[in-house]
């Protein structure tokens, strides 16, 4: 089986995953040295030199073997084991208090039982300091204790002197004995393991040490101040700097630095990646922020996990789709396209899309901000995944672009809103923009156009900004221009749809007189933007060139549009792009005798004006 390639060019993989991989192999090295020390002490020394050992070395090796064995046999990391120890302490004290039934009334029958409970309670109290406490200390400090003993024995280095003083009959001559080299190797291995253990402890976050101390001392603030000021614990600053720097660099790469919640999410990603890699070092190849975000969205643990995952995925999609112009040097164009495709593929899984659609719906409990995030994600993947296969799409998108008459009246008074209401209103406007973005991308597919055509409610909401004359109702306010522009883009895609679906859509739109009149008002208005007028001409041209059966539905509006084209073409005050588009429309329409007659009768000087252009 071919080895999976590591996406080292991804910032989180190159920084966080590789860091987690290093920490995992550091843990493996510590455990491996533990195996060597135990094997060396039991098999080589206790088995071969047990009668030659002095008392100091015998007890030193015995203690080293005993304190290292639990750590070597453990399958979990130090952090998990400490949590288990804390849970065991908690369970012990729960057991102690459970023996004292203070709710029962004090009666004569209660005293024997109460006395027995007190005795049991005292026994439990003795268990903690005598049994559980020392065992926990030995487990946590085992490598440090063995390293300390090794340093002591290496400094004294009195193996041979002890044997001579004790008069060992079975001892070989010093120059012929292998005992001293064997002890040197063992103590060196134990010392090396202790040093690696200390180095790894330096990489634990400050919250880890704080949690340990808080388990035995309630003075959290005093402990934190002491840890910060004590130069002996300067490793805490190193660990904090190393991890914070990794998180900060990754967050900066994806433009997350200004969002505290996203930075916390990246920090949590680092912690979980380190934990998973300690159990399986190959995990660092299988994870990145995208897979982590999708996993959080799929998770059913809590609402917070879903929100964090959606926010990360939203940021990653925005980064992937906008990084083209400022692509990092380490990414080739082909690699960037592949990463974008993979990211969109992850975001397009059915489970993720369903949950995003639920969050985007107006009945969602996630709030307006979360609806905006879900809408932005779906807008980014809408053109690349068949969203219409999900039954919730029409309802969810329709809830985003819905403009009721009450809402339109509220838009007229937007300047009078307070700051808090203004922020909520801005969210609603953003949702509407994202809704039209989704619909525009969906309209690029013929099958989606058929579904839109069959959904009268969604189609009606899509043309509502033009039908209601929102642009002039809001006096060409910037947001109204954006919404009308997006509505016209959707309409342009719908009327350009080929085949029977396109004919049906053109028939449906041309049958709506208010929509046609809305586009005619846009063409007559000098205050409307160039782009909305261009879109209006394109749409009306498609409608005007359709088959006779659909043209009879709104013949008057069609003729009005044709009469407007010569005036647009010959007006020097209008933009060149609009005049060119009007000329192209006239060329296509003039191929019909009836339309050519309408053009010539548009006004009294149409021929003269057209001749001047020549």
Asked whether the CA dihedral 226, 229, 234, 235 is positive or negative, the reply is positive
Structure confidence at residue 533 (pLDDT): 83
Section 522-544 average pLDDT:
82
**What angle do helix axes 499-510 and 530-544 make, rounded to 10 degrees?**
110
Joined tokens for residue 128: 């903690």
522-530 average pLDDT score: 83
Handedness of CA 314, 317, 320, 321 (dihedral sign): negative
Question: Regarding predicted confidence, which is higher, 413 or 516?
Answer: 516
- CA torsion through residues 284, 286, 291, 295, sign: negative
Average pLDDT over residues 129-155: 79
- 3-class SS at 421? helix
> In the predicted model, is pLDDT for residue 424 greater than 90?
no
Helix boundaries (H) for 348-404? 350-360, 368-381, 393-401
> Of all helices (H) and strands (E), which one includes residue 437?
helix 419-442
pLDDT at 558 > cutoff 90: no
| pLDDT on residue 192 | 94
Q: Compare 402 and 420 and report the one with higher pLDDT.
A: 402
Q: How confident is the model at residue 413 (pLDDT cuts 50, 70, 90)?
A: very low
The yes-or-no verdict on residue 284 having pLDDT over 70 is yes
* Distance (Å, whole) CA 38 – CA 19: 29
pLDDT at 419 over 50: no
Residue 188 confidence class, pLDDT cut points 50, 70, 90: very high
Our separate counts of H helices and E strands in the chain read 33, 0
Report the mean per-residue pLDDT for the chain: 74
Q: What stretches of 434-535 adopt beta strand conformation (E)? A: none
Q: Is the Cα torsion angle 457, 460, 465, 467 positive or negative in sign?
A: negative
Residue spans per domain, the chain = 20-216
Q: How far apart, in whole angstroms, are the C-alpha atoms of residue 544 and residue 595?
A: 9
Higher pLDDT among residues 390 and 609, named by residue: 390
Better-scored residue on pLDDT, 325 or 57: 57
Give whole-number Cα distances, 93 to 80, 128, 149, in Å.
20, 9, 34
Residue 44 banded pLDDT, cuts 50, 70, 90? confident
Alpha carbons 537 and 577: distance in angstroms, whole number? 11
Please give the residue that has the higher pLDDT: either 575 or 358. Answer: 358
Return the number of other C-beta atoms located less than 10 Å from residue 453's C-beta: 21
Instruction: Check pLDDT > 80 for residue 135.
Output: no
| pLDDT of res. 122 | 72
| Top-confidence residue, 308 or 569 | 308
Residue 614: its pLDDT value, please?
A: 61
pLDDT given for residue 475 in this prediction: 83
Q: What is the pLDDT of residues 306-355, one digit of tens each?
A: 888 889 999 988 888 776 555 555 556 666 677 777 788 888 888 888 88
Per-residue pLDDT at 403: 67
The lowest-confidence range among 123-127, 297-301, 397-401 is 123-127
Q: pLDDT digits over 63-119, tens only? A: 888 888 877 665 445 555 555 556 665 665 666 556 555 555 445 455 666 676 667
Task: Give the model's pLDDT for residue 189.
Answer: 92
How does residue 485 score in pLDDT terms, banded at 50, 70 and 90?
very high
Give the residue-averaged pLDDT of 26-34.
88
Give me the pLDDT at residue 191, please: 93
- In 3D space, the residue among 220, 340, 354 whose CA is nearest the CA of residue 298 turns out to be 354
Under 8 Å CB-to-CB from 358, ≥6 apart: which residues?
Answer: 364, 392
C-alpha 574/C-alpha 576 separation (Å) is 6
Residue ranges of the alpha helices (H) in 202-332? Answer: 206-214, 220-229, 235-253, 260-279, 289-298, 303-322
Q: Give the pLDDT confidence score for residue 129 in this predicted structure.
A: 67
End-to-end CA distance of the chain: 72
Supply the pTM of this predicted model: 0.74
What pLDDT is stored for residue 348 in this prediction?
80
- Going by C-alpha positions, the residue among 134, 130, 125 that lies closest to residue 85 is 134
**Predicted confidence band at 216 (pLDDT cuts at 50, 70, 90)?**
very low
């Amino acid at each position: 089986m071919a080895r999976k390639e590591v996406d080292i060019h991804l910032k989180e993989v190159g920084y966080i995953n590789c860091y987690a991989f290093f920490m995992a192999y550091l843990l493996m090295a510590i455990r491996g040295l533990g195996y060597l020390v135990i094997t060396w002490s039991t098999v080589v020394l206790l088995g071969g030199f047990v009668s030659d050992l002095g008392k100091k070395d015998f007890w030193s090796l015995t203690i080293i073997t005993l304190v290292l064995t639990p750590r070597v046999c453990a399958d979990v990391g130090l952090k998990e084991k400490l949590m288990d120890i804390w849970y065991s302490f908690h369970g012990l004290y729960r057991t102690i208090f459970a023996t004292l039934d203070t709710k029962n009334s004090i009666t004569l029958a209660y005293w024997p039982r109460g006395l027995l409970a007190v005795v049991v309670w005292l026994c439990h109290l003795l268990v903690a300091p005598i049994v559980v406490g020392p065992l926990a200390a030995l487990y946590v400090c085992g490598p440090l204790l063995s390293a300390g003993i090794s340093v002591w024995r290496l400094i004294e280095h009195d193996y041979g002197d002890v044997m001579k003083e004790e008069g060992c009959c079975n001892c070989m001559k010093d120059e012929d004995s292998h005992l001293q080299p064997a002890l040197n190797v063992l103590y060196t291995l134990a010392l090396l393991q202790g040093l690696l253990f200390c180095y790894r402890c330096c990489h634990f976050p400050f919250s880890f040490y704080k949690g340990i101390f808080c388990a035995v001392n309630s003075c959290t603030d005093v402990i934190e101040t002491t840890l910060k000021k004590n130069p002996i614990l300067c490793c805490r600053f190193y660990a904090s700097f190393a991890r914070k720097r990794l998180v900060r660099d990754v967050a900066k790469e994806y433009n997350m630095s200004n969002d505290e919640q996203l930075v916390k999410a990246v920090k949590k990603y680092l912690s979980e990646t380190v934990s998973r890699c300690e159990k399986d070092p190959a995990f660092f190849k299988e994870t990145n922020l995208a897979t982590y975000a999708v996993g959080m969205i799929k998770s059913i643990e809590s609402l917070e996990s879903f929100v964090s995952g959606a926010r990360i995925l939203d940021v990653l999609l925005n980064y992937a789709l906008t990084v083209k112009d400022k692509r990092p040097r380490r990414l080739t164009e082909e690699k960037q396209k592949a990463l974008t495709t993979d990211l969109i593929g992850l975001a397009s899984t059915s489970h993720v899309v369903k949950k995003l659609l639920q969050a985007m719906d107006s009945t969602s409990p996630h709030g307006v901000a979360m609806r905006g995030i879900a809408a932005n994600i779906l807008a980014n993947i809408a053109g690349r995944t068949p969203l219409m296969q999900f039954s919730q799409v029409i309802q969810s998108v329709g809830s985003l672009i819905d403009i009721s008459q009450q809402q339109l009246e509220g838009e007229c008074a937007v300047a009078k809103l307070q700051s808090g209401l203004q922020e909520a209103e801005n969210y609603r406007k953003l949702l509407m923009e994202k809704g039209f973005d989704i619909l525009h991308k969906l309209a690029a597919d013929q099958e989606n156009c058929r579904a839109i055509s069959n959904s009268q409610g969604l189609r009606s909401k899509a043309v509502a900004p033009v039908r209601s004359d929102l642009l002039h109702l809001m006096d060409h306010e910037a947001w109204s221009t954006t919404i009308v522009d997006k509505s016209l883009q959707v309409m342009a895609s719908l009327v350009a749809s080929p085949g029977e679906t396109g004919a049906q859509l053109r028939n449906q739109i041309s049958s709506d007189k208010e929509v046609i009149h809305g586009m005619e008002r846009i063409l007559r208005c000098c205050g409307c933007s160039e782009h909305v007028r261009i879109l209006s001409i394109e749409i009306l041209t498609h409608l005007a060139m359709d088959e006779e059966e659909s043209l009879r539905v709104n013949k008057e509006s069609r003729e009005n549009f044709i009469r407007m084209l010569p005036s647009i073409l010959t007006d020097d005050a209008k933009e060149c792009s609009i005049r060119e588009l009007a000329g192209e429309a006239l060329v296509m329409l003039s191929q019909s005798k009836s339309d050519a007659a309408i053009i010539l009768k548009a006004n009294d000087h149409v021929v003269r004006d057209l001749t001047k252009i020549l």
